[in-house]
Amino acid sequence: MNKFLLSAIVGSSYLGLALVAPASIVVPGSSDPWLAGQPNGTTASSGDVAPAQSPVYAGSVSAGTTITWSATGLVYYAPGTPVDGPKGETGYLISDPAQNGIAGLNNVPVDGLVGLFLGPGVPSGSGPAALNFSTIGLTYTHLSPGVDQPFYMGDGSTESVIVPSGATRFYLGTVDGFGWYNNIGSFNVTLHTVGARVPDGGSAMVMLGVVFGVASFVRRKIS
């Protein structure tokens, strides 16, 4: 009986670790995807610099996993009043060039929500080919972007994406042509099937220590 109780406690603790995921992530309108994974001081998009305009690190990912989401909020690509939701201003499509080893992105609504998968290293080189959403469509149901290849997300009402091979990290940003630094507003994004926002194994090891410490304490108490 005591062993059963101990196993249940340890098992539930591990389950809690496995299921930890960001319930809601705030994505400022100033989040430039082309600064993802870049060191402080890196520049992009005619005036943006890391980390001030870096996109938001959304969590760890596992290749082959399907990610779904929901998003709300308003942003705007210039000073003023935020007016555009996560789908962006669908009457104003723009394209962004490749920068900092990250692919370009073609024909997406300004102010729309953007995602990006990275591997464990810093993006470099010319980057992969740009995704073209005049071909893909803005209301896709399943999308398989590559590593270092930004993609339009919208509000998640119909969309889902599959994590590519080699991806370990997920970032969120917004769409603009240049100068995200003066953008305003933010989105609230709820993700599913994304790991905890722990950039290395340190916090995980601390949590495991807590789990075993609690288990040891309970074992002594019930012995």
Q: What pTM does this model have?
A: 0.79
Q: How far apart are CA 213 and CA 219, in angstroms?
A: 10
Give Cα 14 distance to the centre of its chain: 24
The answer for residues whose C-beta is within 8 angstroms of residue 4's C-beta and 6 or more apart is none
Q: Kindly calculate the radius of gyration of the chain based on its CA atoms and give it in whole angstroms.
A: 20
What residue type is 199 in one-letter code? P
Which residue matches tokens 């990290």? 169
- Regarding the domain with residue range 34-197, which homologous superfamily does it belong to in the CATH classification? Galactose-binding lectin (2.60.120.430)
Give the three-state DSSP class for 171.
Answer: strand
Q: How far apart are CA 145 and CA 143, in angstroms?
A: 6
Give yes or no for a contact between 31 and 54, defined as CB atoms under 8 angstroms apart: yes
Residues 67-125 have pLDDT tens digits of 999 999 999 999 999 999 999 999 999 999 999 999 999 999 999 999 999 999 999 99
Residues 165-222 have pLDDT tens digits of 999 999 999 999 999 999 999 999 999 887 655 553 333 333 334 334 434 433 444 4
Q: How far apart are CA 221 and CA 47, in angstroms?
A: 60
